[in-house]
Amino acid sequence: MRKLRKMLIFPAVLMLIAVGCTSEEGDGGDGGDGAANQEENTGTVNVLNAMEPEEADAVQALWEETYPDLDYTVDFEASADFEEQAQIRAAGGTLDVILLPQVGTIAGNYVPNGAVSLEDLGIDIDALNAQMSESFVAVGEVDGQHYGIPSNINLKSMVWYPKDDFDAAGYTVPTTFDELNDLAVQIEGDQGVPAWCVGFESGGATGWPATDWMEDIMLRTAGPDVYDQWVKHEIPFNDPAVANAATIFGDVMFKQGNVLGGADQTPAIAFGDAPTPMFDDPPGCWLHRQASFINAFFPEGTEAGVDYDWFPFPPIDQEGILYGGEMAVTFRNAPEVVDFLNKFISDDFQCAMGGETASSRISPSAGVGPDCYVNSILADSSAILTEATQAGTGRFDASDLMPAAVGSGSFWTGMVTYMQNGPDSLTGVLDDIEASWPTE
Amino acid sequence: MREPVTGDEVALEPPSPGGNAVLFLLRLLSALLIPVVGFTVMWAAFDFLRDENANRILIVVIAIVVGVGGVLFLYWAMNRAVDALPARFREGVRPYVFVGPALVILGVFLVYPVISTILTAFKDAQGENFVGLDNFRFVFTDPNMLTAIRNTFGWIILVTIFAVGIGLAFATLADRLHRGEAFAKSMIFLPLAISFAGASITWQLIYSFRPEGFGTNIGLLNGIMIGLGQNPVAWLGLEPWNNLLLMVIMVWMQTGFAMVVLSAAIKAIPDEIIEAARIDGASEMQVFRKVIVPSILPTIAVVTTYMVINAMKVFDIVFVQPANAEANGTVVIAERMIRWFFLNGNDGRGAAIAIILFVAVIPVMIWNVRRFREQEEER
């Protein structure tokens, strides 16, 4: 018996290896060669996305309710490990449409793996620019072709505050950067605590919340055009415009008693824990800058509009709004897929999604007004985003668009070093980030 | 297989010079061709099984049955084929038929990746065009890479010394326990069962830091600091000590392994030798240094090699720390490799870093092989 078992082990191992091989081979097949000619209607459209399951269910139900009589079915497939799944299935050529939050990876990961351009799909780019704003649509542009349709947008330039205490103390929402700084000084004087709560720790991604700060300030000091040049590396990372933004950022962070725990501690404070002192009684801090998702990290039982509220990060030298978002990227050029895209991004359907309480999606479309949203935070965000994108002052999160070695590498690291080592380290930090920019 | 099954006299005769060449050819053919044919046959079977719409579990079951059975059949068939050969070639060819598949697998999964990695190391970020030595220039000039090389050396030296040293001490002392030896050893061995990533997270209970105002500190070290009336410290941002703190995690995990292996070696030392040393008036320290350690030296060498290679490969402990490894100066070579290859999408640099690791292992392996040979000679 033992002999037989021994005899079986080697073939079994061989077998496992071989099975591993073939499945890899299966995944790595020629990823649907982006044919310009349309394929047959297969009757189903798979939409792989990174939504929370409840949100995806709500969107699915809404879709079926809105379009009951189509000659194809749509499956909104929410995946917890979306990033990995999308890449594997793109390489395997088994994707229809993905709703991609990591829009910066379109060129590197998806165009070489069979993403179909909007031009090939026959989607009108000019109309899309008008509907979704040119700056957002341009995010999905690779070598003159467009590969992404903006499908979701979220506001990054938000400053959160403890509304009940804030009102009781008689403070007013600042409308300029100077007023914001004055407010911080006033809070420190009145309350005896630092005004700002800041935390940049995020495991292996530690430092990213600091890049959002930098981008917010960069956009409002250098302006959208220089911001675009910065993203595309048409100006160096150690350009005076960038140094200026970083200095202003440093002025807030390094000012004695302005940040809870001090700037050098911020890289050790988890970004999700950072706002919690705001809900102490009395508050341990009064201001927290973070994107729209952060209220999910607020203590249980706190209520928007009562315990906390937010105002947009105020203009500095000029107006500007920072946003992040998601794009629909298509891999199969078939009539039902195009029909799905047109229906999905239509103002009617996008507006209807705002009526779902389980949805936290904001439409990038200018035609979807604040009235569409049942959630007041989404409605207010939507109004600000639409105004900014239509005025051309809205810009996409820079670090998400820069090459990974910078945008999710040296930029994060540089900001952490800057916080830890203080204002004098700035020149070295910016030089290091500039040196890390990949040469083509 | 020492005795020819057939009892044929011819097989035992030295082959004629002409037969040598034929024999060599047959050996080569059987070693390479038959497995290739086998793989081709199985490949066709897999292709058939790759139907996307079939039941997955059914596929797995069929794959294992067909695969395992198929491989068994292949060996059996090849064995029969060898039997059909002229008697004088038979036993010369047979071993190669059985070794052949292993050689092919070794080639596909070891030799080919090594060659491919070496080639990639001279190519650009996309792995397309050759860029000469650029990637290696990066490896030896980038400040983070230099820190990583320095740190990895630190890991290799300190983790090895402490894990083996403490393991040896425990093994020696535990050997003298009258009671509870098994329990004491189990407690020390236990951390080895945890994954590196898991251990690294677990140690957050010790290193965790929250500045004042952000709630209670849950980290043990900061609990002690506050108890002593000091301010909490961000331990993982404390250069260069944070490196040592991370090494402690690996020592904690690996000491148990060193202890168990060394303990087994100590127990294998004949009591007579130790008794004799004691009767001759040796102190316990002398017994340890002059009798125990020399007796288990080969085992110490094996454990040390294991520790060195493990420390060289360290990745998870650093990677899952809630801190920026670059800014905190805790980067290590393997972590750089993952970052450049997968996260920054630069195949060339990732491969170049992999080669540094690969080359660094070579001296350890040479030392090991040499020591092994010496040992064999002694026997």
Q: Per residue, what are the HEC states of A383-429?
A: HHHHHHHHHCCEEECHHHHCCHHHHHHHHHHHHHHHHHHCHHHHHHH
Both B116 and B147 in one domain: the answer is: no
According to DSSP, residue A72 is labeled S
CB proximity list for A346: less than 8 A, separation 6 or greater: none
Both B113 and B231 in one domain: the answer is: no
The answer to whether A44-146+323-392 and A158-320+401-436 have equal CATH topology is: yes
Both B184 and B111 in one domain: the answer is: no
Burial of B52: CB neighbours in 10 Å, binned 0-12, 13-18, 19+: exposed
User: Computed over its alpha carbons, how large is the radius of gyration of chain A?
Assistant: 24
Q: What percent of chain B has pLDDT over 70?
A: 91
Number of residues that this document lists for chain B: 379
Kindly provide the b/e burial profile for residues A123-132, where b requires at least 16 CB atoms within 10 angstroms of the residue's own CB. Answer: beeeebeebb
Residues 158-197 of B with CB under 8 A from A: none
A193 touches chain B (CB under 8 A): yes
Profile chain A (440 residues) by mean pLDDT over runs of 10 residues: 52 50 38 52 89 90 92 91 84 90 86 91 92 90 93 94 94 95 95 94 88 96 95 95 96 94 90 92 94 88 91 94 94 93 93 88 91 90 91 92 88 94 95 88
CA within 13 Å, CB half, A99:
26
Does residue B129 lie within any of the structural domains? Answer: no
CB proximity list for A438: less than 8 A, separation 6 or greater: A403, A405, A406, B125, B344, B346
Angle at alpha carbon of residue B49, lines to B47 and B51, rounded to 5°: 90
| Domain end point (choices B94, B121, B148) | B121
Q: Which domain holds residue B21?
A: 9-121
ipTM, 2 dp: 0.72
Q: Could you tell me which of A120, A153, A156 has the C-alpha nearest to residue A36?
A: A120
In this predicted structure, which of A40-49, A285-294, B18-27, B135-144 has the lowest mean pLDDT? Answer: B18-27
Q: To 10 degrees, the CA torsion angle through A346, A347, A350, A354?
A: -170
Q: Any idea what the CATH number is for the domain that residue B331 is in?
A: 1.10.3720.10
A7 touches chain B (CB under 8 A): yes
Both B78 and B163 in one domain: the answer is: no
Q: To 10 degrees, the CA torsion angle through B346, B349, B355, B360?
A: -120
Res B322: pLDDT: 80
How far is CA B73 from its chain centroid? Answer: 33
The CATH architecture that domain A158-320+401-436 belongs to is 3-Layer(aba) Sandwich (3.40)
According to DSSP, residue A270 is labeled B
CA distance B216 to B207: 13
Q: Could you tell me the pLDDT band of residue B50, with boundaries at 50, 70 and 90? A: low
Both B304 and B352 in one domain: the answer is: yes
Both B300 and B187 in one domain: the answer is: yes
Q: Do A417 and B210 touch (CB under 8 A)?
A: no
Peptide bond into A282 cis (omega under 30): yes
Q: List for chain A the helix, strand, coil content (%; round to 5).
A: 50, 15, 35
Which residues face A153 on adjacent strands? Answer: A325
Structure tokens of A138?
């341009």
| Domain end point (choices B64, B91, B121) | B121
Residues 105-124 of A with CB under 8 A from B: 108
CA distance A324 to A326: 7
Which of A62-76, B1-15, B175-189 has maximum average pLDDT?
A62-76
Q: Is A152 helix (H, G, I), strand (E, B) or coil?
A: strand
B330 touches chain A (CB under 8 A): no
Q: Which CATH class is domain A44-146+323-392?
A: alpha beta
| Domain end point (choices B121, B148, B172) | B121
User: Computed over its alpha carbons, how large is the radius of gyration of chain B?
Assistant: 28
Does residue B159 lie within any of the structural domains? Answer: yes
Angle at alpha carbon of residue A321, lines to A318 and A327, rounded to 5°: 145
Q: Is A39 helix (H, G, I), strand (E, B) or coil?
A: coil
Question: Domain residues of chain A, as ranges?
Answer: 44-146+323-392, 158-320+401-436
Average pLDDT in chain B: 84
Structure-token match 């250098």, residue found: A222
- Closest partner residue to B213 (CB to CB) among A108, A261, A403 is A261
Instruction: Label residue A50 left, alpha or beta by phi (over 0 means left) and psi (-120 to 50 means alpha).
Output: alpha
A211 touches chain B (CB under 8 A): no
CA distance B169 to B161: 12
Structure tokens of A338?
């195009």
Q: Do B324 and A416 touch (CB under 8 A)?
A: yes
Does residue B272 lie within any of the structural domains? Answer: yes
Which residues face A155 on adjacent strands? Answer: A323
Number of residues that this document lists for chain A: 440
Distance from CA of A320 to the nearest CA of B (A): 29
H/E run at residue A161: strand A158-161
Cα–Cα distance list, A138 to A152, A385, B78, B242 (Å): 15, 16, 62, 43
Structure tokens of A222?
């250098």
Q: Which amino acid is at B124?
A: D
Whole-model pTM: value is 0.79
In this predicted structure, which of A249-263, B55-69, B364-378 has the lowest mean pLDDT? Answer: B55-69
Q: Give yes or no for residue B339 having a pLDDT over 90.
A: no
Q: Could you tell me which of A427, A407, A423, A394 has the C-alpha nearest to residue A137?
A: A394
Residue of B nearest to A284 (CA): B213
Cα–Cα distance list, B374 to A399, B148, B303, B370, B378 (Å): 57, 35, 18, 6, 6
Show residues of chain A in contact with B320, CB under 8 Å. 203-204
Q: What is the pLDDT averaged over residues B174-180?
A: 84
Both B228 and B154 in one domain: the answer is: yes
Both B200 and B289 in one domain: the answer is: yes
Span between the terminal Cα atoms of chain B, in Å? 25
CA distance A343 to A64: 12
The per-residue pLDDT for range B198-232, each reduced to its tens digit, is 998 899 889 988 887 888 888 899 999 989 988 88
Which residues face A97 on adjacent strands? Answer: A47, A330
- Closest partner residue to A404 (CB to CB) among B70, B236, B343 is B343
Res A364: pLDDT: 92
Tell me which of B324 and B331 has the higher pLDDT. Answer: B331
Res B37: pLDDT: 73
Show residues of chain A in contact with B211, CB under 8 Å. 260-262, 265, 268-269
A432 touches chain B (CB under 8 A): yes
Angle at alpha carbon of residue A346, lines to A345 and A349, rounded to 5°: 95
Both B190 and B313 in one domain: the answer is: yes
B63 touches chain A (CB under 8 A): yes
Indicate the number of domains in chain B: 2
How far is CA A159 from its chain centroid? Answer: 17
| Residue B32: CB atoms within 10 Å | 15
CA within 13 Å, CB half, B241:
7
Structure tokens of A330?
């298509």
Q: Is B325 helix (H, G, I), strand (E, B) or coil?
A: helix
Kindly provide the b/e burial profile for residues A83-103, where b requires at least 16 CB atoms within 10 angstroms of the residue's own CB. Answer: eebbbebbbbbbbbbbbbbbb
Structure tokens of A293?
């998702």
Q: What is the pLDDT averaged over residues B129-151?
A: 91
Q: Per residue, what are the HEC states of A166-180?
A: HHHCCCCCCCCHHHH
According to DSSP, residue A197 is labeled -
CA distance A416 to B326: 9
Q: Do B213 and A274 touch (CB under 8 A)?
A: no
* Interface residue of A9, A13, A14, A439 to substitute, partner B, most B CBs within 10 Å: A14
Res B1: pLDDT: 41
* Interface residue of A8, A15, A193, A425 to substitute, partner B, most B CBs within 10 Å: A15
